[in-house]
Structure 1
Amino acid sequence: MSEHIAIVGSGYMGGGIGQVLALAGNEVRLADVSAEVAAGNLERILRETAEFEKEGLFPEGATETVRARLSAAASVEEAVEGARFIEEAVPEILELKHATLARISAANPTAIIGSNTSTISITQLAEQVSAPERFLGVHFSNPAPFIPGVELIPHAGTSEAVLEPVEALLAQVGKRSARLTDATGFVLNRLQYALFHEATKLVDEGVASVEDIDMIARTTFGFRLPFFGPFAIADMAGLDVYAFCYRSLQTTFPERFATPPILQERVDAGHLGTKSGGGFRTIDPERTAELVAYRNKAYARMQDLLTDLGPSPLDD
């Protein structure tokens, strides 16, 4: 069943979210700072949809579907009228988000409201939402049409009743979601920026060039990440191996690479990962060979995909 949805903020992220929702058959209205901006962004979105369809990235008929389902409203109030779900996607400026959320919630007192914020505390944003129990973070990733994961971040006052409808909507449009606890940066950007921060240190220390760091990240652990998260990867490597490597890193970086307590606790208890039947993740020992076969096939297919795509414009 389709939903009436409003997207407030029709730029690259908001437009991409609207595109995905409309493509799945939902009625979506876009709003922005003016009717002219919303209308202009709608035309851009339709051009992009046609390009994606031509390139085979969207199914045949996608442009016609999006054109029929996605529209530009004259105002925020017009966009959110009667909507069951509203996604705020304005720039990552607290004051702007506060003002926008106050305007949205005043214009529609019953809809579930999500924010596409990537780092700002949901608790802080909720301060300007009337009936804040209907408010939560719904954080899509860029580019929204092609990245499947979405962070769901309720604040302490979010009603449990709003989570399942949002999860159902995301599943309907082909996304995968995870419920998180509200914390600045959430999960995606805490991990992403931790990696970037260490990468900058390696450049500053003269260990490697920007280009070589990008190459190593893409062709080693980055190869694993589409299939396994950091805990599954650690389990397959062996948590005792991880603990040993931490001790080695501590010879130069004793504080920066202190052994995480949750790792040491598992090692001390003999929970060493896949080889012991469980570490952070649990697996039936009889399925270990199946996991290894899946891993090997996944990595080989990834290499096939990269070979088929050829080098990116950065790597020509």
Structure 2
Amino acid sequence: MTSRANIACLGAGRMGRGIAVAFAYAGHRVTMIDVKPRSAEDFAKLETDALGEVRKTFASLSNLGLLTEADVDPLVARVSVATASQSGTALADAGMVFEGVPEVVELKREVLGAASRQVKPDTIIASTTSTILVDDLSGAIVNPHRFLNVHWLNPAYLIPLVEVSPGKATDPAIIDEVKALLEGIGKVPVVCAATPGFIVPRIQALAMNEAARMVEEGVASAEEIDKAIRYGFGFRYAVLGLLEFIDWGGGDILYYASRYLEGALGSDRYRAPDVISRNMHEGRIGLRTGAGFLDYSGLDVDAYRAKRLQAMVDLLRHFELARPPVLDRD
């Protein structure tokens, strides 16, 4: 697959439009394929809506300073919409295909199976499903070794992270090609096993439900909880990953805090997984012992801490919360 491969999106909805913007911005030509047979009038409306949203998105990026107003037309010109009957031509020219139809297994299998028979044998095919496991879909694909899941986070054209989830039949070389393609358009791909919720949706479901539960219990108002998330939870984890933060403070702290919360709140949802106690017994506490979830052997710990703290100071400045010290002056 070439670095500027043509991209095809099966479906011209929200996800397809976001992916189209991301790839067109990075120099690729993108065709959104309408997978539903429509009258000429209905297709014209879909095409107008889809390209209108793409244009509006680029215009908003111009207003935000990521491109100039003069850039909008050339970028929009890289995106087109094809009818279902035109899919053969669009798919034959594609280096990679992203499926973005509604979350219905039978529909996805039908659309993906048909597309896999129209593309070139080496064209990579990906579903963007947020809920369905890749191996529940791969049986419908011709040459399933080139099929995997590529889960984007909305808005797809802005959020850097993309979760790549291969199936049992996925060729490891295909994973590397997809990662290279995504990195080439400025994304940050992470590879995870085919498991419900992938990484981010699984973690955020717990966090969102707990935030809602605290409102329900009267712990704090929605406004106060969201303020705590922005300036505490989100602030720290924009710099330190969750597992890195466990190591930063020490896995033993999480172990004892979890035991207290489980008892005080009467819920096993706060129970630490076995890996936390196992790490403790093996002396893998984190930075203090040179190993935890991550390996810190040979690391200049002082320099590492200074770098992370500098990133936090930069965030303080971003939020306009950095202040000079108050000094007594005689």
Q: TM-score, normalised on structure 2?
A: 0.87
Residues 38 and 102 of structure 1, relative CA distance in 2, 3 Å threshold: farther
Q: What corresponds to 1:193 in structure 2?
A: 205
Instruction: Confirm whether residue 175 of structure 1 aligns to residue 187 of structure 2.
Output: yes
Q: What corresponds to 1:10 in structure 2?
A: 12
- The answer to whether the 8 A contact 1:141-1:149 is kept is yes
- The answer to whether the 8 A contact 2:92-2:120 is kept is no
Q: What corresponds to 1:166 in structure 2?
A: 178
- The answer to whether the 8 A contact 1:121-1:185 is kept is no
- The answer to whether the 8 A contact 1:238-1:275 is kept is yes
Question: What is the CA distance between 1:284 and its match in structure 2?
Answer: 4.0
Question: What is the CA distance between 1:95 and its match in structure 2?
Answer: 2.9
Residues 55 and 217 of structure 1, relative CA distance in 2, 3 Å threshold: closer
Q: What corresponds to 2:276 in structure 1?
A: 263
Greater shift in the superposed pair: 224-233 or 200-209: 200-209
Tell me the number of residue pairs that the alignment of Structure 1 and Structure 2 aligns.
308
Instruction: Confirm whether residue 282 of structure 1 aligns to residue 298 of structure 2.
Output: no
Q: What corresponds to 1:49 in structure 2?
A: 58
Instruction: Confirm whether residue 100 of structure 1 aligns to residue 102 of structure 2.
Output: no
The amino acid of 1:5's aligned partner reads I
Distance 2:260 2:229 in 1: 21
Greater shift in the superposed pair: 210-219 or 284-293: 284-293
Instruction: Confirm whether residue 123 of structure 1 aligns to residue 135 of structure 2.
Output: yes
Deviations 1:122-170 (A, max 9, x none): 1112232222221100111111111111111111011223212111110
Question: What is the CA distance between 1:17 and its match in structure 2?
Answer: 0.8
Of the three residues 137, 142, 147, the one matched with 1:135 is: 147
The amino acid of 1:247's aligned partner reads R
Q: What corresponds to 1:307 in structure 2?
A: 320
Residues 250 and 159 of structure 1, relative CA distance in 2, 3 Å threshold: same
Of the three residues 59, 68, 72, the one matched with 1:63 is: 72
- Provide structure 1 residue ranges, at least 5 long, that are not aligned to the other structure: 309-316
Question: What is the CA distance between 1:61 and its match in structure 2?
Answer: 5.2
- Provide structure 2 residue ranges, at least 5 long, that are not aligned to the other structure: 322-330
Distance 1:58 1:129 in 2: 38
Question: What is the CA distance between 1:59 and its match in structure 2?
Answer: 5.8
- The answer to whether the 8 A contact 1:88-1:114 is kept is yes
Question: What is the CA distance between 1:303 and its match in structure 2?
Answer: 2.2
Distance 2:94 2:211 in 1: 43
Question: What is the CA distance between 1:306 and its match in structure 2?
Answer: 2.2
- The answer to whether the 8 A contact 1:109-1:131 is kept is no
Distance 1:60 1:132 in 2: 42
- The answer to whether the 8 A contact 1:19-1:45 is kept is yes
Identity %: 32
Question: What is the CA distance between 1:87 and its match in structure 2?
Answer: 0.5
- The answer to whether the 8 A contact 2:164-2:191 is kept is yes
Distance 1:140 1:119 in 2: 12
Q: TM-score, normalised on structure 1?
A: 0.90
Of the three residues 27, 30, 43, the one matched with 2:29 is: 27
- The answer to whether the 8 A contact 1:39-1:72 is kept is no
Question: What is the CA distance between 1:285 and its match in structure 2?
Answer: 6.2
Question: What is the CA distance between 1:112 and its match in structure 2?
Answer: 0.9
Instruction: Confirm whether residue 114 of structure 1 aligns to residue 123 of structure 2.
Output: no
The amino acid of 2:53's aligned partner reads R
Superposed CA RMSD in Å reads: 2.0
The amino acid of 2:4's aligned partner reads S
Distance 2:236 2:104 in 1: 34
- The answer to whether the 8 A contact 1:7-1:31 is kept is yes
Distance 1:61 1:277 in 2: 52
Distance 1:271 1:284 in 2: 12
Query: Secondary structure in 1 aligned to 2:301?
Result: helix
Distance 1:78 1:215 in 2: 50
